[in-house]
């Protein structure tokens, strides 16, 4: 990454580039975290709706 900063001599351009890089990395991480949370939520829902033998036995006992 340092080689990119060496190409830009003025402080304002380097600061803008640093801000852009930091923001891009932050947004990419945030997007990955939301995708993981969404997959976890979908797995939780499918787990709750899937009938396991224990859940079937409990459902039949309740009848």
Task: Note the pTM of the prediction, 2 decimals.
Answer: 0.47
- Cα–chain center distance at 48: 22
Select the more confidently predicted residue: 18 or 4: 18
Q: How far apart are alpha carbons 1 and 3 in whole angstroms? A: 5
- Phi first, then psi: give them for residue 9, nearest 5 degrees: -85, -35
What confidence tens digit (pLDDT) does each residue in 19-50 have? Answer: 888 999 999 999 888 888 888 777 777 666 66
Residue 57, Cβ density class (10 Å: 0-12 exposed, 13-18 middle, ≥19 buried): exposed
- Determine contact, residues 48/39, Cβ cutoff 8 Å: no
At 13, is the pLDDT very low, low, confident or very high (cuts 50, 70, 90)?
confident
Place of tokens 């969404």: 38
Domain limits, the chain: 1-58
């Amino acid at each position: 990454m340092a080689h990119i900063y060496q190409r830009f001599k003025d402080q304002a351009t380097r600061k803008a580039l640093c801000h852009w890089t930091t923001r891009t990395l932050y947004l990419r991480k945030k997007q990955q975290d939301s995708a993981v949370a969404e997959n976890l939520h979908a797995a939780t829902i499918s787990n709750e709706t899937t009938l396991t033998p224990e859940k079937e036995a409990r459902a039949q006992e309740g009848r």
